[in-house]
Structure 1
Amino acid sequence: VPEGYIRVAVAHGVPPEALYSVSLTETAMAPRSIAAVVRQKTNLPAVSRPWPWTINVAGKGYRYASRLEAWRALQVFMSRYSLKRIDVGLAQVNLGWNGHHFVSTWAAFDPYTNLNAAASILRECWERKPGSWLDAAGCYHHPAGGQAAARYKTIVKRHLARLSGTTRQPPLLPPSLLPQTVAAIAPEPGFIWTEPGSEP
Structure 2
Amino acid sequence: MATPIVRTAFASALICATAMAHAAEIPPPAYQLIAIPEGVPSEVLYSVALQESGTKLRGHIVPWPWTLNVAGAGYRFATRSDACQALMIAIVSVGPARVDVGLGQTNMKANGYRYGSPCEGLDPYKNLKVTAQILAEHKAKGGDWITAAGRYHRPAGGAPAERYRRAFTKHLSRVTGIKLMVDNQ
TM-score by length of 1: 0.74
Does residue 17 in structure 1 map to residue 29 in structure 2?
no
Aligned structure 1 segments of 4 or more residues deviating by more than 3 angstroms: none
AA aligned opposite 2:29: E
The equivalent of 2:144 in structure 1 is: 132
- 3-state DSSP of counterpart to 1:128: coil
Match of 1:55 among 68, 92, 110: 68
Sequence identity of aligned pairs in percent? 45
Which whole-Å deviations, capped at 9, do the CAs of 1:150-196 have from their partners, x for residues lacking one? Answer: 00000110001111129xxxxxxxxxxxxxxxxxxxxxxxxxxxxxx
Match of 1:2 among 18, 28, 33: 28
Hey, what's the Cα distance between the residues in 2 that align with 1:75 and 1:143?
26
Hey, what's the Cα distance between the residues in 2 that align with 1:79 and 1:163?
37
The equivalent of 1:147 in structure 2 is: 159
Query: Gapped runs of 5+ residues in structure 2?
Result: 1-26, 179-185
Query: Gapped runs of 5+ residues in structure 1?
Result: 33-45, 167-200
The equivalent of 1:64 in structure 2 is: 77
- 3-state DSSP of counterpart to 2:69: strand
The equivalent of 2:175 in structure 1 is: 163
Which whole-Å deviations, capped at 9, do the CAs of 1:125-144 have from their partners, x for residues lacking one? Answer: 00112x31000000000000
Hey, what's the Cα distance between the residues in 2 that align with 1:21 and 1:6?
12
Superposed displacement of residue 47, structure 1: 2.4
Which whole-Å deviations, capped at 9, do the CAs of 1:10-67 have from their partners, x for residues lacking one? Answer: 01000111100000000111115xxxxxxxxxxxxx6221000000011110111000
Hey, what's the Cα distance between the residues in 2 that align with 1:90 and 1:62?
12
The equivalent of 1:26 in structure 2 is: 52
Which whole-Å deviations, capped at 9, do the CAs of 1:86-112 have from their partners, x for residues lacking one? Answer: 000011010000111100112110000
RMSD: 1.2
The equivalent of 2:19 in structure 1 is: none
Q: Tell me, yes or no, if the aligned pair for 2:69 and 2:105 is still in contact at 8 Å.
A: yes
TM-score by length of 2: 0.80
- May I ask how many residue pairs the two structures share in their alignment? 152
Hey, what's the Cα distance between the residues in 2 that align with 1:149 and 1:75?
28
Superposed displacement of residue 81, structure 1: 1.1
Higher helix fraction (1 or 2): 2
The equivalent of 1:104 in structure 2 is: 117
Hey, what's the Cα distance between the residues in 1 that align with 2:113 and 2:141?
19
- 3-state DSSP of counterpart to 2:65: coil
